[in-house]
Amino acid sequence: MNHPHRPAPVSFAQALKFWLWLGCVSFGGPAGQIALMHEELVVRRRWISEKRYLHALHYCMLLPGPEAQQLATYTGWLMHGTRGGIAAGALFVLPSLVLLIALSWAYTVWGQHPWGQALLWGLKPAVTALVLQAVHRMAKRTLKAPWLWALAGASLLGTLVGVGFPWLVAAAALVGWAMARQRPMQGSAHGQTGAAQEATAALIDDHTPTPEHSRYTTGRLLRTSGIGLALWAFTLGGLALWLGAGHTLVRMGGFFTEAALLTFGGAYAVLPYVTQAAVSQFGWLSATQMMDGLALGETTPGPLIIVVAFVGFLGGQGQALLGDPLLGGIAAACVVTWFTFLPSFIFILAGGPLVESSRHVPTLNGPLQAISAAVIGVMLQLAGTFAWHTGWPTAQWSQPDWPALALTAPAAWLLIARQWPVVRVLAVCALVGMGVQWV
């Protein structure tokens, strides 16, 4: 049914321009990017309705990997099929990959200079503040009932005692399923009046028929999954045949595939897993370098997990892969990015039709909402980890870095209470770091 206020159809060329713009301006980590996409896609451009946007978001948060990039891929796929999904997901990543490779090279050249150290010192409190902002935003959007607050707290405690995130997800899903059966979802993010929906009709709204390319069939699921697995096997197998099974690039490909598949909860859940393995297991970089990489990653647009490109660059350059440190670093950064994001494309392009077919299944709302609450607990634990590395860089309680702690608090206040743009807060913290060095 046509609506008089429905936006005009969006061409693929128009969508390409938007996705490229989004990839260049999406600062602020996953929470900020999800909020930006909501503002642009739901509120301003009205390409997709609130309910369908949130249904896609809940699915992406259920998956392992970077949820913001997956959400962009899902929306692009819903609008323009496979080519739309690939374009949206790739353009969300490519600008930040190019920029982070350049920053990684600059870090290896000037990172140990006193002024470079001062710049990084100023950025680390901003990183901690950004994670706290992400927790705050997500809690406001998700924790709409007391039992969801309790679930987030239980997830935090579980994370602190070492419970694996897949177990937390499974437990949260069971609790959400039980709550959905016991009573209707109170305070659901889907709650929107019919009048409001009518007044803000979207190009793809709650009543838009499912497009042909997004209808579920078993054959389509198997075909898309098979193509994705073949791409993975071809690239990893090709690297192994060319360089040998024990080569660093092959080990990176295998590890970051594992990380992409096993780490649920988005970028904030992936980072502790990647940090532990890259530092302690493989020795691709040090713990201090990993924190520096996180600071640099926060200064770039795109998905936060693109920091894996920094890990790959330092690991590849340190071992002079392919005979040249710079070439080896660039190759490793690209390999790591490919194997980190390939599963996300497969999940969306293969699983999207199944998700679309479940839009009107109310029993799924409870588990998905509960999983979102569990993710908040994990994010809060990561915020604590970042605060520890920022405020106690020597890992000794008796040796706090008081200036860093003093900078973290106002940075968080500016982001959360004053709602300053991320880039402005990063710039202020960087200038403070330089000022401390000068003093």
| CA–CA dist 28, 263 (Å, integer) | 21
pLDDT top residue among 365 and 84: 84
Which pLDDT score, from 0 to 100, does residue 319 have? 63
**Distance of alpha carbon 15 from the chain centroid:** 21
Q: In the predicted model, what is the mean pLDDT of the chain?
A: 83
Q: What is the pLDDT of residue 191?
A: 41
Are the beta carbons of 173 and 370 closer than 8 angstroms?
yes
Nearest Cα to Cα of residue 344 among 54, 128, 30: 30
pTM assigned to the model: 0.76
Mean pLDDT over residues 380-386, rounded? 78
Q: Residue with structure tokens 């009046």? A: 193
Altogether, the residues listed in the chain come to a count of: 439
Residue 276 CB neighbour total at 10 angstroms: 12
Residue 318 counted as domain residue: yes
What 3-state class would DSSP assign to 207? coil
Q: Is the dihedral of CA 266, 269, 270, 275 positive or negative?
A: positive
d(CA 347, CA 74): 10
- pLDDT, residue 189, reads 40
Q: CA-CA distance, 108 to 336, in Å (whole number)?
A: 18
Number of domains observed in the structure of the chain: 1
Whether 303 and 30 have beta carbons less than 8 Å apart is answered as yes
The encoded tokens of residue 107 equal 């870090």
Instruction: Name residue 48's beta-bridge partners.
Output: 204
Who's near 335: CB < 8 A, 6+ residues apart?
A: 239, 249, 252, 253, 312
409 inside domain: no
Has residue 213 got a pLDDT over 50? yes
pLDDT at 288 over 50: yes
Question: Cα 20 to chain center, whole Å?
Answer: 17
* DSSP letter (8 states) at residue 41: I
Q: Mind listing the pLDDT tens digit for each residue in 129-147?
A: 877 887 887 788 788 889 9
CA 362, distance to chain mean position in Å, is: 26
Task: Report the pLDDT averaged over residues 39-60.
Answer: 87
Gap between the Cα atoms of 313 and 111, Å rounded: 14
pLDDT bucket at 222, cuts 50 / 70 / 90? very high
Which tens digits make up the pLDDT trace of 298-341? Answer: 778 888 889 999 999 999 886 666 678 888 899 999 999 999 99
Rg (CA), the chain: 22
Q: Is residue 359 part of a domain?
A: yes
Question: Which residue, among 340, 278, 339, 338, has the nearest Cα to 314 in the 3D structure?
Answer: 278
Looking at residue 42, the DSSP 8-state letter turns out to be I
Domain range holding 275? Answer: 12-116+125-187+216-392
**DSSP code string of 116-152:** HHHHHHHHHHHHHHHHHHHHHHHHHHH--SHHHHHHH
Q: What pLDDT shows up at residue 140?
A: 83
| pLDDT the model gives residue 196 | 39
Of residues 270 and 20, more confidence is placed in 20
Q: What is the pLDDT at residue 183?
A: 67
Query: What is the mean pLDDT of the segment spanning 418-427?
Result: 83
pLDDT, tens only, 182-211 = 765 544 444 433 433 444 577 887 777 777
In a domain, 411, yes or no: no
The rounded distance, in Å, linking the Cα atoms of 305 and 257 is 13
The CA-based angle 436-421-385, given to 5 degrees, is 60
The pair of three-digit structure tokens given for residue 259, joined into one six-digit string = 């990380």
Of 359 and 69, which is predicted with more confidence? 69
Q: Is residue 254 part of a domain?
A: yes
Residue 422 placed within a domain: no
Q: Is 419 exposed, middle or buried (0-12, 13-18, 19+ CB in 10 A)?
A: exposed
**Closest by CA position to 270, among listed 14, 30, 2:** 30
Q: With respect to residue 199, please indicate whether it lies within any of the assigned structural domains.
A: no
Q: Is the pLDDT of residue 347 over 70?
A: yes
Average pLDDT over residues 366-372: 78
In a domain, 438, yes or no: no
Whole-number Å distance between alpha carbons of 301 and 95:
7
The residue with greater pLDDT, 439 or 317, is: 317
